[in-house]
Structure 1
């Protein structure tokens, strides 16, 4: 259709609904063709009861991927048509189940042996005429969307596109207030500011930069919305600590944490560092997941000045 050529893939759902409507309309006519008083929407529930016997509403819903209210409504409609008997006692008498009536069983035998056979041949005919096998394609799409939903895929694309507008720059004195306020914002949201925080945030030039460290600032539309520091450590086991990473809540979802982390790691490598150390807290799950994604691994036993620290990690850099 010209409409879908104009909308492009944005209207995938609408196009599938239109196709579903075409097939469903034909399905209703096909039941009439075989003198069968039956609604197409009943078929999944009807088929399960025919193949597997008595089932609970929950069992049917899980098997066909419908909600329980939807299955309950269909069961009631089929019960009114005399095809299903509801609220039967199961064999262990502890659960209510639904099952086909004798009328339902007779209809099922007729449908499966004659009507379904004709439909299978007709659909095979369409498949043979088509360039692409829709049946196999649907199965493949279902598998791929179960692995990663359409929402997740669009979310990732949005993040990738927006991250291209993020610029990572070296710290300048004009960013001191942003460095402090961004860190104070996230620390105060989850914890309390500590003495070591004030040392780094009140005077980053002396505490970090003059000691051989680096600070990176993420600009989005020229506004500083993320910061991260690479602090030189006086420790024989570690060259630097990655610390004071903070991203404004309004900038989350733009890949800023990842971009800052990559800038820090790249800088450490350029200074011939062998390992980077960091401290965090496990309630910050997105941050911990980000560190693992960067290649950090959990360690323990290192001295920390922070009360809030309950996880320590390190990244080994391969020269």
Structure 2
């Protein structure tokens, strides 16, 4: 059985490289057939230069979608074969300007005929195909430009891992985890304050008995995140004590905790959800905005670290 049939789409990149190698191998033979002394990988750079008097390396790189370093390397190789020349821009010595040499320009007529014939061969190949490879490549490039392959795999990983994440209610046995998770982030960025110690050491008295609620996030049997709803009045609750342990970040745990807290606040008949934070915690601020919170100016905070207040209207 063919390896790629066996392993499937996970080897897409490897299969595309195999196809590219097949074209590249034949391309070298085709250049010899037309007596065009070019390395196939030089073609994009050579073609751009054949269409104008000269061009800067940066301009060429932008035109063909290569890196500056890649184009510079190709230009050096072409220059060593006597097909291109390079000089500094007369107004900016940092800019390298490239042009084809006389020997390079002598190849243009033969290359043009080669391109006509190759284009016809490609058209015939596409007509024999059930799917238009050229259009499919263009579509794939467009889609990957909008969302990279890495981002797509990471998103799949996050969805899969989130299936192993449980959002559960606080129990007395989770007290040490509740403290640990909050101490972890507070001491990383700020100093522990008296108000922190009161709520973290006495969550029953300071959060639960007055009508609040605490949620915990469990991943593969380990408590990795938490947040609390602190009752401010019958209509308003504060989203507080949100923390996710560093080793579990990137799995969307904060998002799941935030959504669960919002749903719980609605169950508690809250009309407004309020929070305090600090703008140096950019990921947290971005999360709150994604959850729908907007910046407000409220009463002075009891926490020295607070420099932003946000709220979410639930009705």
Structure 1 alignment gaps of length 5 or more: none
Query: Paired residue for 1:140?
Result: 139
Paired residue secondary structure (1:32)? helix
Contact 1:302 1:312 in 2 (8 A): no
- Structure 2 Cα separation of the partners of residues 127 and 309 of structure 1: 62
- For 1:63 and 1:139, the matched residues in 2 are separated by 16
The CA distance in 2 between the partners of 1:267 and 1:302, in whole Å, is 24
CA contact (8 A) 2:35 2:110 kept: no
Matched residue of 1:131: which SS?
A: coil
Deviation at 1:104, TM superposition (A): 1.4
Partner of 1:131: 130
Matched, 1:303 2:300: yes
Alignment of 1:1-319 (within 5 A): 2-87=2-87, 89-90=88-89, 92=91, 94=93, 95-112=95-112, 114-234=113-233, 239-318=236-315
Where structure 2 has 5 or more consecutive residues not aligned to the other structure, the ranges are none
- CA spacing shift, 1:302–1:64, aligned 2, 3 Å: farther
Displacement of 1:68 in angstroms is 2.7
- Quote the Cα distance in structure 2 between the aligned partners of 1:78 and 1:264: 63
The answer as to whether partners of 2:36 and 2:110 remain within 8 angstroms in 1 is no
Distance 1:62 1:231, change over 3 A: same
1:258–1:290 Cα contact (<8 Å) kept = yes
1:71: how far off? 1.8
1:133 CA drift (Å): 0.9
Secondary structure (helix, strand or coil) at the match of 1:53 reads coil
Quote how far apart the aligned CAs of 1:93 are.
6.6
Superposed displacement of residue 34, structure 1: 0.6
Contact 2:34–2:110, Cα closer than 8 Å, also in 1: no
Cα shift at 1:196: 1.3
TM-score, normalisation: structure 1: 0.94
Does structure 2 retain, via aligned residues, the 8 Å contact 1:179–1:201?
yes
For residue 69 of structure 1, report the CA deviation from its aligned partner: 2.8
Taking a change above 3 Å as real, the CA distance of residues 93 and 312 of structure 1, as seen in their structure-2 partners, is closer
Offset of residue 91 of structure 1 = 5.3
* Whole-angstrom distance in 1 between the partners of 2:86 and 2:189: 52
Q: Secondary structure at the match of 2:258?
A: helix
TM-superposed CA distance for 1:271, in Å, is: 1.5
Please report the TM-score for the alignment, with normalisation by the length of structure 2: 0.95
Distance 1:200 1:93 in 2: 63
Following superposition, the deviation at residue 73 of structure 1 comes to: 2.0
Does structure 2 retain, via aligned residues, the 8 Å contact 1:231–1:241? yes
Deviates more, 1:296-305 or 1:11-20: 296-305
Q: 1:183 to 1:93 in 2, by over 3 A?
A: closer
In the alignment, the residues of structure 2 paired with residue 123 and residue 173 of structure 1 have an alpha-carbon distance, to the nearest angstrom, of 70
Q: Distance in 2 between matches of 1:23 and 1:160?
A: 38
User: What is the alpha-carbon distance in structure 2 between the residues aligned to residue 116 and residue 43 of structure 1?
Assistant: 11
Separation (CA, whole Å) in 2 of partners of 1:176 and 1:78: 69
